[in-house]
Amino acid sequence: MKSQVIRIRNLPATRSVLQRYQLKPTLLLVSMIIIGMLLVAARPYLLLGGIMMTMLGAFCLFVMPDGILCEFTREYLILYNRRRSDDCMLIYWDEIVSWKYEKHSNADELIITLVDGSTQKQECYSKRICIYMRIYVPEKEARVRARKL
């Protein structure tokens, strides 16, 4: 089996990353800062809300930590959210048996089952990751059954 946990420094330097998912929604935070500044300039009664929105967006963008969750290439998927920060999981597309996206209250999970029977779990914060999973392994998506309450 070619899929394995490797050091980040051992990743191929010539890999072409098609899509990268990060922890911070940078575009959303920049939009929040711009809207906050527009509110400050628009009307006096929107001043406090605009200042708060700008400060919150700036705090999240510049102070809170950021990191890469996963990268998609033509040959494989790289999962970065490991126990050791200098490790990553390299998963080749042809070694995926099934995958599914599960919603949970605190963080969603992408669950990937490999040909050797092992299961890899990746925390996700957006269902957009399913778009690329459906492009590369569309026939292997396992449907999540609705739970009865």
pLDDT greater than 60 at residue 146: no
Give the residue-averaged pLDDT of 24-30.
Answer: 91
Q: Is 69 left (phi over 0), alpha (psi -120 to 50) or beta?
A: alpha
Whole-angstrom distance, CA of residue 88 vs CA of residue 69: 10
Asked whether residue 1 carries a pLDDT value surpassing 80, the answer given is no
Q: Which residue has the higher pLDDT, 136 or 35?
A: 35
Residue 52, pLDDT score: 96
Each residue's pLDDT tens digit, 109-120: 899 999 998 999
pLDDT greater than 70 at residue 9: yes
pLDDT category of residue 33 using cuts at 50, 70 and 90: very high
pLDDT interval class at 149 (50, 70, 90): low
Judged against a pLDDT cut of 90, whether residue 35 lies above it is answered with yes
Q: What is the mean pLDDT of the chain?
A: 88
pLDDT band at 85 (very low <50, low <70, confident <90, very high): confident
Nearest in space to 137 (alpha carbons), one of 117, 105, 106, 115: 115
